[in-house]
Amino acid sequence: MLPQVVRRSLLLALPFQAGALVVALVLSAAGLPAQMLLTVLLVLSMWAPAAAELVFRTTLPRAFQLHYVIFITLGPYAGSALNVYVAIADWDTLIHFDSGVMLAWLGMLWVRRMEERVNAPFPAWFALAVIQLTAMAFAAAWEICEFASDRLIGTVAQGGLDDTMADIMAGTMGGLFAIALLLILGRPRSLAPASLLRAAHRAPAAETPRRIDG
């Protein structure tokens, strides 16, 4: 039997998965653009947080998981599978900005888990570098995935060099925005490493990493 935290993560993604399949089927039946193969792949990808929890025997904060499934729904699914990237010119840029925020959160979570493991905060400059470089590295990797998707599946995610560079810059700016929110407001506390929190914000965030039992 799957651990309870993994089951909760699977259930969190389920409404988004069902909605994506229903919308794609309805549009396809009506003769409107909808890429069913890509939709199925993206629906399965919404279980990535649950898979990570199961494989690494840890838990991911609900804020991060919810951000992830919303990103998949509004980005690759709506943008590529439903061709919103073509219908709305700036949609791609907005999605890449949001991806920078989400990936900076991932960098924060990694730094936080490492600090909890060694029971000591890292230097602030190191934590900031890891968080920002996580957003930038994944922004570049995402462009490679978009290029491969356009060539192999027939999506329309990329629009040339200018588009690629604009997307990487948007992801970079999203990472900087997430860092600014963390330094100014101490948010999100469930992901924030102690090394980057003000003293007033540290107590609520100082919790040991939870592991899966069973």
Under the banding of pLDDT at 50, 70 and 90, the label for residue 64 is very high
* pLDDT tier, 209 (very low <50, low <70, confident <90, very high otherwise): very low
Res 202: pLDDT: 56
pLDDT at res. 133 = 96
pLDDT exceeds 50 at position 61: yes
Confidence of residue 214 (pLDDT cuts 50, 70, 90): very low
Higher pLDDT, 66 or 164: 66
Asked if 155 and 38 count as a contact pair (C-beta separation under 8 A), the reply is: yes
pLDDT computed for residue 212 by the predictor: 46
The pLDDT assigned to 208 comes to: 43
pLDDT score recorded for residue 82: 86
- Asked if residues 87 and 162 have their Cβ atoms less than 8 Å apart, the reply is no
Mean pLDDT of the region 54-70: 93
- Greater confidence (198 vs 118) lies with 118
High-pLDDT (> 90) share of the chain, %: 55
Q: Residues 194, 112: contact at Cβ < 8 Å? A: yes
CA dihedral 93, 166, 175, 64 (to 10 degrees): 40
Rama region for 186: left / alpha / beta (φ>0; ψ in -120 to 50; rest): left
pLDDT above 90 for 2: no
* Confidence class for position 153, pLDDT limits 50, 70, 90: confident
Query: Which element (helix H / strand E) includes 175?
Result: helix 161-185
pLDDT in tens, 25-41: 999 898 887 889 889 99
Measured in Å, how far apart are the chain's first and last C-alpha atoms? Answer: 9
